[in-house]
Structure 1
Amino acid sequence: MAPEPRLMILWHSRTGASAALARAAAEGAGPAAWLVGAGEAEPAMLLAADGYIFVCPENLGSMSGLMKEAFDRAYYPLLGQVEGRAYATLIAAGSDGEGAQRQIDRIATGWRLKRVAPPVIVNLAAQTPEAIAAPKTVPHAALVQARETGAALAEGLRLGLF
């Protein structure tokens, strides 16, 4: 019997929204889920994964700094070693989330990863300094979407679809 695939859910959160999305994706993925905080991620860990869900907030129009740091540590060591692996993204945003999404997609393009689910951007409409810094509650529908994303990637990996 083949071993369970490893779906790395690489995440960073400042106010709780991305953490909630990452946990929901892990629930959906079941035993394939491998939750890894961006601060702990090392290139060897990313290499050991069969697929990825990248989860972070958009801060100042970009992915969060700690998530960018995780990619900075891993990008060149993994270049040429992860081509074709599946990935998806979950972005928590105060407005549009497109900046963080574009950054992750550019990194994924360099690694030659294969997007296997549409981007999920959860707009939490935080526009004041107080709202931006406040702990977030993610709408139920967004958590369901994150769970479904985790389940779909885990099942696709298990079936060898990607």
Structure 2
Amino acid sequence: MVISTFPEDSTDTATDNQRGATLLIVWHSRTGAARQMAEAARQGAMDIFEELEVGPQTRCILSQAAETTPDQMLQASAYLFCCPENLASMSGAMKEFFDTCYYPVLDRIAGLPYALMVSAGTDGAGAVRQMQRICTGWRLREVAEPLLIRSGAQTPEAILAPKRVQETDLDACRTMGATLAALIA
């Protein structure tokens, strides 16, 4: 699912000058937590765009990892990567996204800002390290500390159960989206 949130009638055929700035939020979720986090970040970005009264060419795109293309990466001005940690690693779908997009955009997105958000049971550091290494290879510029949202799940049942992210954590996700949006607005 790719959701272009601002403006609704944007086209992919715009020239760079017409395109404006784009925040691309790439996410994957198994139990709903990372999706809630990505959606909250999108809301934070949209709030900043509205507050700053940016033009209609400035937008935020929320894109599932499995559907994100190298072309979307090349059109973006900043990135937010959001996924769960599974077995001390980023989720497989997020890894597939990085595998698919890595070489087509290598040396073409260097210097652009990015941030990370990870949903985890009790850790999350493994997924953060993996994504940071990939972003270092792309020579992206980390502009915020990674945001780890921990559910405390430790049993198989709790780990696999649908999650509901606490409002205070969603506020932190909104702040992350707002931070990236303010950088490109």
Query: Structure 1 residue 24 and structure 2 residue 51: aligned?
Result: no
1:119 to 123, 126, 146: 146
Shift of 1:5: 1.3
**Is the alpha carbon distance of 1:14 and 1:82 closer, same or farther for their aligned partners in structure 2, counting shifts above 3 Å?**
same
Kindly tell me the number of residue pairs found equivalent between the two proteins.
Answer: 158
Kindly provide the CA deviation profile for residues 62-107 of structure 1, in whole angstroms up to 9, marking residues without a partner as x.
Answer: 0000000000001011110000000001100011100000000000
Asked if 1:109 is matched to 2:97, the reply is: no
Q: How does 1:1-162 map to 2 (within 5 A)?
A: 4-30=20-46, 32-158=59-185
Q: Separation in 2 of the partners of 1:125 and 1:141?
A: 15
The alignment partner of 1:14 has SS state of coil
Aligned-pair distance for 1:2? Answer: 7.2
Secondary structure class of the residue paired with 2:97:
helix
State the secondary structure of the residue aligned to 1:52: strand
Aligned-residue sequence identity (percent) comes to 49
Name the Cα RMSD after superposition: 1.3
Larger radius of gyration: 2
Q: Secondary structure, in 3 states, of the residue corresponding to 1:142? A: helix
> Which residue identity does 1:9 align to in structure 2?
I
Structure 2: which 5+ runs fail to align? Answer: 1-16, 50-58
Aligned residue identity for 1:28: G
